[in-house]
A and B are shown apart, each in its own frame.
Chain A
């Protein structure tokens, strides 16, 4: 039966069929749906971990114990988990271990572009890359077999365009392959990486890489599609799909295993074509290596390192190479003549009051990763730095340590509940321990919202929907030794503003403000009245426009001020009352229906 599956749905199916028993992940676009889908299958224990390193260590434990295990993350998640990747490269596995890295060329939903094939080279482990959903299913079994055969973790790399595209998968009643698992047999020389063991292990790792390269040259995971031998293209992942359309008459070596490279296969292919072209998205990984083999080729001078590929980008490079291809269609663009739709906080978002207050109080803000990153945009303009998960609290400590956190220009850190539990806790310990005096705002909306409302330790509900144990963030903060902890209702703007003011006035010790209010998409979001504007009282002062709510819009001009009055869209408003609270003329009220 033919089924349309996204790459992420296909990976979940492939993992299930391969007999995975344990899977762990931290949500992150474009990887999130992998664990969400895997959790639907029986016989797999799927868990959200507080961060990617913890997810990979837990998967390592499951594989050491003999089960097939999987850890899944977005590209930058593997940065967090990288220390674990490196020891796993040395210890190897017992049951198979696959690490999914979902990269984001184009940085659609990320702070950077990075090519995690580099991690395979860096850690000396194999990397497998599917080019569509069918391969996502099929290659997963290969990845687990390879992991067990060569005693190695395997990186399974997708990109946004693989994870989030749907394509046809033949589902033929394939049965899950149960792997009974091999019992853990104690062997410190394999599993305990003290320096003496690590030194002994390293030559083995190098040898394994060599053997993997030989395996790859003989494996059907890489294939040659012969055409004209005037040009031969080496490519992989979604770049293969573009290549296939544009270089359709030429020969293509499509790599399914992108590290280590199949040297013999590449040499054979290169020797048979007149010109060797490398079409790879992001970094010149193949190109650098193939040049180092002494094989002449072209690549990045025609196909850029930056940004996501598309038919247009690959066609452009092909044209410059002299390949006959379609000419670009020139149609007039009107895209810049219609208004933009910039991202904004949802109507009813509990973060709104905090950013309105921060802007009003003119503080400097070290921000973090989540929906609240939108605080950097107009109308709030209330965020100065955004780096990575948990960075806000460290940045605030550094500013404070050099005296930049002054009365005149105080610095605060802003971080969400899930992000705090991910990487914020050690950073707060750092402030407390070193007697810093920063103010940390924890925006607790009781969910990992940005990636589409996933549970986390702060919600106490597990990925499979069962009741776990809820971690009390306030108790954690107090337990770390923060004496000044303020918990405030995020929907009470005056109180939020007052509390932030109070906290930043404390200059000799750390303080934490927890602004608590559920994400508007949660079922326990407080149902309220719809807010409405009194047309007589409103004089168009525009203060409510600064709360950045999509439900508020400009109405007709006020006769005295000649400025547009406010109107509220009853279909969008959920009655969070923040606009009502900031209105100086009491012109906004709760409608009775």
Chain B
């Protein structure tokens, strides 16, 4: 592995930016160059968050390109469909099944898409669709904020990178009292 483009997408408040920091740090731990850049509008909370991470020998642009992203990590179910066009055909999409209803659907006339619609959208681009019960797993561990670590575990599993390397980076990022829980969340995501 000497290069990879990631897109992490979700809703403000889900920990997308922290997770993308970790992905970038793992790239550096692998001895690669890495860049990270997020895109967000003028709403701080509840809006769409899009964060790009790029690994390479020497990374130029801080943002990846439509149709060339290797790994799409969707922190929210319908966000996977919003961003799937960014994935390269045959790339990996990891989807947290959690639903966060937007106001256009809660009080407006928009309708949250069905599971079937989303699955078809994803499979129109790739067969490598991985669903994760991020929120459920995190809640079982007693803290819903662990969902992003569960997702990182799932990403580590989909990639050929030593899980211990991921754990080293995660441990450095989280407050000491949450280290053990984050480790457990990561292993759950990794499927162990």
Contacts and interface: CB of A to CB of B under 8 A. Distances in A.
Interface of A: 2, 4, 29, 108-109, 132, 161, 164-168, 238, 241-242, 244-245, 310-312, 315, 326, 328-335, 337-344, 346, 373-374, 378-379, 450, 452, 542, 545, 548, 550, 552-554
A4 B61 contact: no
Q: Is the interface of A mostly helix, strand, loop or mixed?
A: loop
10 contacts: A108-B40, A168-B28, A242-B61, A310-B65, A329-B66, A339-B105, A340-B110, A341-B103, A342-B43, A342-B102
Contacts of A132: 35
Given A4-B24, A333-B85, A338-B81, A311 B65 contact: yes
Contacts of B125: 331-332
A453 B101 CA distance: 26
B60 A242 contact: yes
Given A108-B40, A452-B44, A344 B103 contact: yes
B103 A329 contact: no
Contact of A340 (B25, B102, B113, B117): B102
Contacts of A310: 61, 63, 65
Contacts of A379: 107
B35 A165 contact: yes
Given A328-B66, A333-B85, A335-B82, A554 B46 contact: no
Contact of A339 (B33, B36, B83, B104): B104
A161 B28 contact: no
Given A310-B63, A374-B43, A4 B103 contact: no
B37 interface: yes
Contacts of B124: 331-332
B161 interface: no
* Residue from B42, B85, B105, B125 having most chain A Cβ neighbours under 10 A: B42
A169 to B, nearest CB: 11
Contacts of A161: 37, 62-63
A331 B84 contact: yes
Given A108-B41, A108-B42, A553-B106, A331 B82 contact: no
* Residue from A2, A339, A545 having most chain B Cβ neighbours under 10 A: A339
Interface range for B:
35 or more
Nearest to B86: A331
B46 A346 contact: yes
B43 A331 contact: no
Given A165-B37, A167-B59, A553-B106, 7 more contacts: A4-B25, A4-B34, A164-B38, A245-B61, A310-B63, A331-B85, A554-B106
Nearest to A553: B106
A4 B36 contact: yes
Contacts of B67: 328-331
B146 to A, nearest CB: 16
B88 interface: yes
A4 B85 contact: no
Contacts of A328: 66-67
A96 B18 CA distance: 36
* Residue from B39, B41, B66, B103 having most chain A Cβ neighbours under 10 A: B103
A29 B21 CA distance: 20
* Residue from A29, A333, A334, A378 having most chain B Cβ neighbours under 10 A: A334
Nearest to A572: B46
* Residue from A166, A241, A328, A373 having most chain B Cβ neighbours under 10 A: A166
Given A4-B28, A166-B35, A338 B113 contact: yes
| Closest 3 A/B residue pairs (Cβ) | A329-B67, A343-B43, A553-B106
B8 interface: no
A450 B39 CA distance: 16
A281 to B, nearest CB: 12
A241 B61 contact: yes
B47 A341 contact: yes
Nearest to B52: A165
A311 B87 contact: no
B37 A312 contact: no
B28 A311 contact: no
B21 A341 contact: no
Interface in B79-121: 79, 81-85, 87-89, 101-108, 110-113, 117, 121
A331 B89 contact: yes
A590 to B, nearest CB: 21
B11 interface: yes
A223 B154 CA distance: 43
Given A4-B36, A161-B37, A334 B121 contact: yes
Nearest to A310: B63
B31 to A, nearest CB: 10
A552 B41 contact: no
Contacts of A29: 42
Contacts of B24: 4, 166
A312 B69 CA distance: 13
A311 B78 contact: no
Given A166-B36, A168-B34, A341 B104 contact: yes
Contacts of B105: 339, 553
A423 B110 CA distance: 39
Contact of A342 (B21, B101, B103): B103
A108 B124 CA distance: 31
Contact of A244 (B45, B60, B108): B60
Contact of B81 (A331, A337, A341): A337
B68 A329 contact: yes
A341 B102 contact: yes
A338 B78 contact: yes
A548 B43 CA distance: 14
Contact of A545 (B34, B66, B107): B107
B121 A329 contact: no
A341 B65 contact: no
Nearest to A544: B107
Nearest to B48: A341
B28 A2 contact: yes
Contacts of B39: 108
B65 A343 contact: no
A242 B64 CA distance: 10
A311 B43 contact: no
B179 to A, nearest CB: 20
Contacts of B112: 339
A563 B40 CA distance: 35
Nearest to B112: A339
Contacts of B85: 331-335
Contact of A241 (B62, B102, B106): B62
B38 to A, nearest CB: 6
Contacts of B59: 167
* Residue from B11, B79, B107 having most chain A Cβ neighbours under 10 A: B107
A108 B39 CA distance: 8
A343 B47 contact: yes
Contacts of B88: 329
B87 A245 contact: no
A319 to B, nearest CB: 13
A441 B84 CA distance: 44
A483 to B, nearest CB: 36
B99 to A, nearest CB: 11
B107 A339 contact: no
